[in-house]
Structure 1
Amino acid sequence: MDDAPAIMEAFVAQERVARILGQGPTKSSVELVNGLQVDLRVLERERWGTALAYFTGSQQHNIRMRERALERGLSLNEHAFSPVDDNRQIIEGAPEDLVPHRGGSLRSSRAAVDRA
């Protein structure tokens, strides 16, 4: 992650960036000239699966995934699953490794929100 700040600098300096909405060492958000907002996160490879699960899907799906994690005594954020009673982190590098923690499969349909 030593190159994360340089990646963020290159990201916000792109020609199509109209406005920088936020910029930090590992996450930045910009608005493009066409009005589209684009967010970029740079993270350790071993956190990829957890971050992908957290940021992929609708807001409803994300909320339901966090609820299901809580039902299992876990907290879910973009960094890791964590038992609610301590600071230990369960980090997954591949999305398919998350299935045991999520209690389901990787799906993106509306029905998957209900099953999540």
Structure 2
Amino acid sequence: MRPDQALTYRLSGDRNPLHSDPWFAALAGFDRPILHGLCTYGFTGRALLHTMCGSDPAKFRSMEGRFASPVFPGEELTIEMWNEGAGECIFQTRGEDGRVVLVGGRHTFDA
């Protein structure tokens, strides 16, 4: 993901300075701005779409998970998926240092 990815996501209407202002991020205890959760969720959803749904959005039914750790712009994400059969998959997303950033993931799709 691009290092300036968080600035692009300001276009979603989320103007929280935690995602763009280093000074504000430092006040919140971070050494730099963090990525929007919507972006992390979107990158994960895209991986699920391509892997479990054969890139067909009509097959994508639902996705849920819980944010467990912040992600920083430019960080590489790894999405781990396990197909449970019958149109259900469990997943988690990891940051580049191996920490889980999205946990308890469940995805349903048309098999």
TM-score by length of 1: 0.25
Whose helix fraction is larger, Structure 1's or Structure 2's? 1
**Bigger Rg, structure 1 or 2:** 1
Task: Name the structure, 1 or 2, with higher relative contact order (CA <8 Å, separation 6+).
Answer: 2
Whose strand fraction is larger, Structure 1's or Structure 2's? 2
TM-score by length of 2: 0.26
